[in-house]
Amino acid sequence: MPYVLKELPENGEPTTLGEPVHDIIVAKVIASRRAVRTQRVTIVIDGASGIELARFDPTAAPKASVTRMRADVAVPAKTESDSGISIKKSG
């Protein structure tokens, strides 16, 4: 199934980007990177149905809940000697 990438300018008609892509994951990665690079909204559309499947807007700030959730994640510090394996000595 082909996926079409389109760039949405502030004014005017959407621009189709290149040839259709046949893998949704690849289409989303390309659209995401292009949106960040060009600072324009980039969308992924199902070529068969015309339904918008993904939208990448580089100007939209992440939601406060997402930012807070990421900040709350504590990562334990590992030392060089801590391999995550514990060995019990017998005897």
Is 72 domain-assigned? no
d(CA 64, CA 47): 34
Residue 65 pLDDT greater than 60, yes or no: no
How many structural domains compose the chain?
Answer: 1
Is 80 domain-assigned? no
Q: What is the dihedral of CA 59, 63, 67, 73, to 10 degrees?
A: -140
pLDDT digits (tens, 9 = 90+) for 27-54: 999 999 999 999 999 999 999 999 999 9
Asked if 11 and 51 count as a contact pair (C-beta separation under 8 A), the reply is no
Domain boundaries, position 32: 1-47
pTM assigned to the model: 0.64
Is 8 domain-assigned? yes
pLDDT at 42: 94
**1-34 CB burial, b ≥16 within 10 A, e <16:** eebbbbbeeeeeeeeebeeebeeeeebbebbeeb
Is 39 domain-assigned? yes
